[in-house]
Amino acid sequence: MKLYALLDRLFPLSFTAKVFTLAFVGIHVPLIVMVGYVLVTSGMLATRVEDLLVLLLATLAGTVGTLAALRAVLSPLFQIDETLRTFESQGSAPLLPSRYRDEIGRLMMRSNRLVLAMGQRLQQTQEEADTDPLTGLLNRRALGDSYALACDVKSARGTGLLLIDLDHFKSINDEYGHDAGDIVLRHVGAALRQATRQKDSVLRYGGEEFVVVLPDVAEQDALQAAWRICESLRLKVALPDGRMLKVSASVGGAHWTQAQGPVDFALKQADESLYDAKRSGRNTVVLRRLLSFGSGESGLGAAQPA
C-alpha cells in the first residue's frame, strides 16, 4: 500500500497512470539509460545523436500505445466502478459480464453478487416499510405511490378512492380487548383482499381505517366495488374463547375522470363521503363524484339499502 499511496499522490484521479508509470519506469528508463551509457562510453554520442532521437521517438510512440492498451485492459475496472455508482444512486444496476475467470473476472462476479444481495435487501426493506405487519396490507406510507400509479393508468373510465372505517370498533377494543381488535383487523384485511381486484391497491390507513385505490374504473363500477366491500365486511368473527363478534363498515369514496389531482384532496372528498355514510346510519356507502379537483358532487349510492 505504501507504493500505491506514493503513486496516488502523483496521479490521484487515474489508476491507468499509476500502472503506466510502473511499466514505463521498469522497462523504458533502464533501456534509455543503457543506450545512453553505451553511446557515451564508446565515444559515439556525437555521431549517433540521430539514432538516440529515433530511439526516444520510438519509446514515446510505444508509451502512447501502451497507455491506450492499458486503458483498454483496465476497462473492466471502470465498468465495475460505473455499475457500483449506478447502484448507489438508483438502487439497481445491470449485471456485469461473468465469462472472465481471472482476478478481474472474479471481482466482477463478486460485484454482481453484492449488487444482487443489496438489491434484495433494499427491496425487502422497502416492502417492510410499506407493509402493515398486522394485516399484511400496504400501509399509509404506500398511499402516495399507489395513488400516483392508479392515476397514471391511461383510461377514460376514471379512477376511484375508497375510505373504509369499521363501525363501533372502539367498543370492540374496550369490551373485548385489543387482542380481539387485532383479530378483527386481520379478518378485515383478508376480506378486503378477496373483495378487490388484483390491480387495486388495498391499504391499512391507520387504526380501523382502510383505503382502496381503484385504477381504470368507471363511476358505476366504483360504486359497485364500494358496495361489494361493504357487504364483504359484514363479518362474524370468532374469538379464541368462542365468543362471536359482529363487524360492519361504512364506506366513503370519490371518483373522477379528469387528470390526476392531489391525493390529499381526493382523500378529503372520500372522508366527507365517509362522514355522510356514518351520518346515514353506518354500514352503508356514499360515493362522491369529483367534477374537478376543486369541487365534488355527493350522494351516489347513499340511498341504497344496507
Packed helices 178-195 and 169-176: angle between N→C axes, nearest 10 degrees? 140
231 is catalytic: no
Q: Where are the alpha helices (DSSP H) in the chain?
A: 2-10, 15-23, 29-41, 49-73, 75-90, 103-129, 143-152, 169-176, 178-195, 219-232, 263-279
C-alpha–C-alpha distance, residues 221 and 226, integer Å: 9
Which residues are 253's β-sheet partners?
162, 287
204 Cβ contact partners less than 8 Å away, ≥ 6 residues apart: 132, 134, 135, 137, 138, 139, 140, 185, 189, 210
C-alpha–C-alpha distance, residues 298 and 61, integer Å: 82
Cell, residue 117 = 444481495
Which residues are 286's β-sheet partners?
252
Catalytic residue, chosen from 50, 103, 127, 208, is 208
Coil, helix or strand at residue 231? helix
C-alpha–C-alpha distance, residues 77 and 215, integer Å: 45
What residues are annotated to the active site? 208
